[in-house]
Structure 1
Amino acid sequence: MHVPDGFINVPTSAVAGVVAAGAVAVSLRGARRELDERTAPLAGLVAAFIFAVQMLNFPVAAGTSGHLLGGALAAILVGPYTGVLCVSVVLLMQGILFADGGLTALGVNITVMAVVTTVVAYSVFRALLKVLPGSRRSVTGASFVAALVSVPAAALAFTLVYWVGGTTEVPIGKVATAMVGVHVLIGIGEAVITALTVSAVLAVRPDLVHGARGLRQRLQLRVNGELVDAPAASASNPSDDAEGAPVAARASRRALWAGGLVTSLLLAGFVSFYASADPDGLEKVAADKGFDAKVEEHAAADSPLADYGVKDVENARLSGGLAGVIGVGMTVVAGSAVFWAVRRRRSDDTSPANTSV
C-alpha cells in the first residue's frame, strides 16, 4: 500500500507530513516507557523482520497481491508507540534506499501504514483481551483479529486522504469499495503472519511480548528445548546478570534475536525471489480506476538499490537477494540505533539527578 509521488496533491501531502511528524514525536516520547534493556534490541529486530516480510507479496485475487503492513505485529510485540516507530523506520528505509513509496508521500505512508494500523490494531487487541481468558491462546487469537481489522482500516484511511487531496477526479465511493474489498483479503494474510509470529515468540519468551504482559499463567522459558518455570530474580544470586535476569533468560533472549535475524535474512535474501509479481492492492485499484497515470518518477529512482535490486548485478535472483539482505541489515542497524537512543533517554530521565526534588 505504499503511496507513490503524484497520487496526493502537495497541500494534503504537507498536512499528512505534519500529522506524521507529530505522531512520531509522540511515539518517541511514549516509547521511553515501553523500551527497556530487554525489549530495545527486539524492537530493532521487529523493524528488520517487517522489512523482510514486506518483500514477500502473496496472491490474494486474480492479478492482485498483498504484503504485510506490520503495524499490528509491531504494536503487540513491542508496544503501540514503539510499533509506530518500527514501521516508520521501515518506510523511511524503503523510500530513501529502494524507491518504494514516494518521498513527498512519506507523511501519507507513515500516517496510513504506521499510525492507523498500529492504533486500530492495538485498540482492537486490548479490547478483545478484556473479554477473553488471560491465556496465550487469547493473545494469539486477539492478534489475528486485530491484524485483520487493521488492514482495511488503513485502506479506508488512504481513501479519505485521496478524497481530500487526490490528483484525479475519481468517484470516491468506487475507490473505497475497491480498496476495502481487496484489503480485507490482504488482511487475512496479515492476520495469519501476525498470529504465527506472535505465537512463536510467546512459545519461547512470553515475557518479551508487550501485549502478553499481565497474563495470569506462570512465566516459563524454553531452555535446552524444554519449558521450565522462570526463577525469581535475586540480587544475591551470582548467576544473575546486571538486570537481575537469570543467565538462562539472557541466553534465550540472545538466541531469539539471532534466530529472528537469520529468519529475516533468509526471507529477504532467498524466499523473496518467489514472491508474487502481481501489483499490490493499491496499485491494482489505481490501475483499474485510472489514477495510476498520475504517478511521478521517484526521486531515488537512480538509487543503487532501487526496486529491490542491486545496480549492475545482472542475475535477478542474486540482485534481489543481495538487496534484501542489505535492506534487512540497514534496517536493523537504523532501528536499533533509534531504540537504544530512546532507551538511553529514558535512563537519563529516570536518573537520580533528574528525579530528585
Structure 2
Amino acid sequence: MIHVLVAASSAVIRSVLKDIILKTKKLQWAGEAASYAELKAEIIHLNPDAVISDKSLFDAVRSSTLSDFCYTTVIPTIIYHQPGDKPYYSAKNIKFLEMPGFISFSSNKVEEYSVELEQYIMDLKCNVLFENHPASVVSSLSDNGASAPVVMQALPKVFKERRFKAVLVGVSTGGPGALLEFLKGIGKDFPIPIIITQHIDSFFDKNLITWLASEAALPIHLAENNMRPLPGHIYFAPSDVHVTFVPVTDDDYRIVLNHDAPINFLRPSVDKMFESAARVFGENCIAVVLTGMGADGAKECVHLKQLGAYTITQDKASSVIYGMPKAAYEMGGSCEVLPLKQIPERLWSLAGRERA
C-alpha cells in the first residue's frame, strides 16, 4: 500500500480526498495537514509515500515556498492549482493538476476519480523508481524460484505469411524497466517499425527516450506529425498527445499526432492508437499490451484480434502491475500470453526472420 498524506487549507477538500483515497485499492490514508507548517511536521512524523496538496497552501506563506518545496522534496507529490494558475516547475516527482470541483463531487464521481488519482500516484512512483533503479522487471518463476520460460505455441501458417506493417505496444505503470528489457530483447535490425504508447508525465518523455536509447542502443524517437516510421526504429507517443495513423499507399503510412479529448482520463491512449491501427492496418499489425494499471488498450485489443491481427499480452508473473494485460486477456483480446523476456522472440518469429 502507498501511504498518502493530504495537505490543504480547505477542510472540505481534505475530506473529499480522504473519501477518494479510501475507495482506492493501492492507496492508504496516512493523515492530513491544514498548513504548510503542519505539512512539514507531518512529513517528518508520518514519512508518507506520497503527498497531495494544493498551491494555495504554499502561496499563503510566501511566493517562493512552492518552488523551495518542489526543488527539495523527494516525495512523489500531486499539487492542485486553480484554472489558469499552473506553476511551471519541473521535477520527476511532482505533478501539477487543475483543481477539480471537489465540493460538488457526487458519490459516483468520488468512485470514478479514485481510479484516476491512483493512476497519477502510481505513475509518479514509477517515475522516481525508474530514475533511481533502472533494473528490468523479473521474469516468470517456477514454484522452486527458477526461471520458467513458457513453451510458445506453434505459429499458425497464416501469420507466418503475413506482411506486418507495425508493432504497436501499450504500457503504463512499470513501463520504463519493462521497455528496457523488451527493447534489449528485440536487438538490432528488426524489420518492422515499433510504435509505443507509454503513459508518462509531460516533462519526462524526452528523458525516458534518452535513457532507453543509451541503454538499448536502438534508434528511438519521439513521434512527430506526418512522420514515416522506418523498420527497426522505435517511436514513442509524446505526452498529452494521441498517436494515430493515416495511409499513404497500400504499403505506406504516416504517424498523425491527435489532440482529441483524453479517453478514460488518458492522453496518449493505447485504445486510441489501437483503434486507428484497426482502421489503417487491419490484420496486418501486431499489438502488445505490457504492464500497467487499468484497462487501457483492452477493448481495442479485442477488436484487433477479431480483425485477424496478432495480439500478445504480458503474463502476470513478469508484470509490475497486472492490470492492462489482464484486462485485455480476460476480455478475449489475447492470441498469446507470454513472459516479458519471450515477447521479442515471438515478434521475430512473426517477422519471419532470425534475431540479429
The two structures share one fold, judged by TM-score above 0.5? no
Provide the TM-score with structure 1 as the length reference. 0.23
Specify which structure has the higher proportion of strand: 2
Specify which structure has the higher proportion of helix: 1
